[in-house]
Amino acid sequence: MTFLKIGAFTFGGGYAMIPLIREEIVHRHRWMEDKDILDITAIAESTPGPIAINSATFVGSRVAGLPGAFAATFGVVLPSFVIIYVISFILRQFENFAAVRYAFFGVRAGVLALIVNALVSMYRQCSHDVFSWCVMGAALVLVAFARVNVLWVIAGCAAAGLLRTGIFEKTGRPPEGSEKESSV
Partner 1 sequence: MILLDLFLTFFRIGAFTFGGGYAMLPLVQQEVEHHGWMSKEQLVNFIAVSESTPGPFAVNVSTYVGAVTGGLPGAFAATLGVVLPSFLIILIIAKFYERFRKATAVESAMRGLRPAVVGLIGASVWSIGREVFFRERIEQADFAAPQLYLSLGIFALAIYLSFGRHLHPVKIILISAACGIAAGVAGLL
Which residues, 159 to 178, sit near partner 1 by CB under 8 A?
159-162, 164-166, 176
Q: Applying CB under 8 A, which of residues 5, 19, 38, 50 lies at the interface with partner 1?
A: 50
For the packed helices 150-168 and 130-144, what is the interaxial angle rounded to 10 degrees? 160
Query: Measured between alpha carbons, how far is residue 89 from residues 77, 92, 106, 174 in Å?
Result: 19, 5, 22, 52
For partner 1, the closer of residues 4 and 126 by Cβ is 126
Binding mask 11-30 for partner 1 (x = CB under 8 A): -xxxx---------------
**Helix (H), strand (E), coil (C) string for 79-96:** HHHHHHHHHHHHHHHHCC
For the packed helices 51-94 and 34-45, what is the interaxial angle rounded to 10 degrees? 60
> Using the rule CB under 8 A, is 38 a contact of partner 1?
no
Q: How far is the CB of 152 from partner 1 (least distance, A)?
A: 10
> Using the rule CB under 8 A, is 4 a contact of partner 1?
no
Q: Applying CB under 8 A, which of residues 20, 26, 37, 118 lies at the interface with partner 1?
A: 118
Q: How many residues bind partner 1 (CB under 8 A)?
A: 93
Query: Measured between alpha carbons, how far is residue 52 from residues 3, 21, 28, 76 in Å?
Result: 15, 10, 20, 7
Q: Applying CB under 8 A, which of residues 43, 64, 174, 179 lies at the interface with partner 1?
A: 43
Q: Applying CB under 8 A, which of residues 33, 38, 150, 179 lies at the interface with partner 1?
A: 150
Query: Measured between alpha carbons, how far is residue 20 from residues 12, 48, 81, 90 in Å?
Result: 10, 22, 20, 30
Task: For residue 181, count other CB atoms closer than 10 A to its CB.
Answer: 14
> Using the rule CB under 8 A, is 114 a contact of partner 1?
yes
Q: Applying CB under 8 A, which of residues 20, 22, 37, 125 lies at the interface with partner 1?
A: 125
Task: Return d(Cα 82, Cα 85) in angstroms, integer.
Answer: 5
Q: Applying CB under 8 A, which of residues 32, 69, 71, 75 lies at the interface with partner 1?
A: 69
Q: Applying CB under 8 A, which of residues 5, 28, 119, 179 lies at the interface with partner 1?
A: 119
